[in-house]
A and B are shown apart, each in its own frame.
Chain A
């Protein structure tokens, strides 16, 4: 079983603050890294699918980076808004099985 760790476990920020979280994963036999956003009472939805070392992806105010050699990915949110409040999950996939292993998530609450 791959060990995927996310930090922090939870985060409270004020509207307008920028924030970031970390996902750590085993770097050996890396295949892909996924980020998902899971809002309360909804299904998790994919934010980014990342495969290449040095990848940077952006969607609006949210961006992510990937370092496959050292086994970490950062998710950044610029100018947080209350609607960004959600749990952010990362999932690592290794070559061979290609089955995602999820971290426990980072719960973000943005206060107006």
Chain B
């Protein structure tokens, strides 16, 4: 059963802590993406990776970091430098025509 998984579904973090969101895909897609959604906003691109061991900053990369050591995995770390981290985070992967396949999302709340 191919797809994208994200964990956890809900995440609570104390201010000042780093936290890592997991994203795994078994679709054999080369490209993977992280988006953030805030109320009333569209999906905004944080980071993307078009191939293993390579990734690029998106529109709102400040305060985030990623790694792409394996094709299947693209974890996102929200660092303490991110000023407003409370949001809904979506991971996606894509085929050659860039159609996005999305995971179920992680809702991060900073307490």
Contact = CB atoms under 8 A, between A and B. Distances in A.
Contacts of A44: 90, 100, 102
Interface residues of A, number: 22
A29 interface: no
A93 B45 CA distance: 13
A42 B98 CA distance: 20
B58 A34 contact: no
Contacts of A45: 102
Interface string B44-70: 110010000000001100000000000
Contact of B43 (A1, A42, A89, A93): A89
B8 interface: no
Interface residues of B, number: 22
Contacts of A103: 42
The interface centre, meaning the residue of B58, B102, B103 with most chain A CB atoms within 10 A of its CB, is B102
Interface in A41-56: 42-46, 49
A32 B97 CA distance: 9
Interface in B69-94: 90
Given A43-B103, A91-B100, A1 B59 contact: yes
A43 B102 contact: yes
The interface centre, meaning the residue of B90, B97, B105 with most chain A CB atoms within 10 A of its CB, is B97
A5 B33 CA distance: 21
Nearest to B97: A49
B99 interface: yes
Contacts of B97: 32, 49
Contact of A99 (B4, B48, B103): B48
Interface of A: 1, 4, 32, 34, 36, 42-46, 49, 89, 91, 93, 98-105
13 contacts: A4-B42, A34-B98, A36-B100, A43-B103, A44-B100, A46-B100, A49-B97, A93-B98, A98-B98, A99-B45, A101-B45, A102-B35, A105-B42
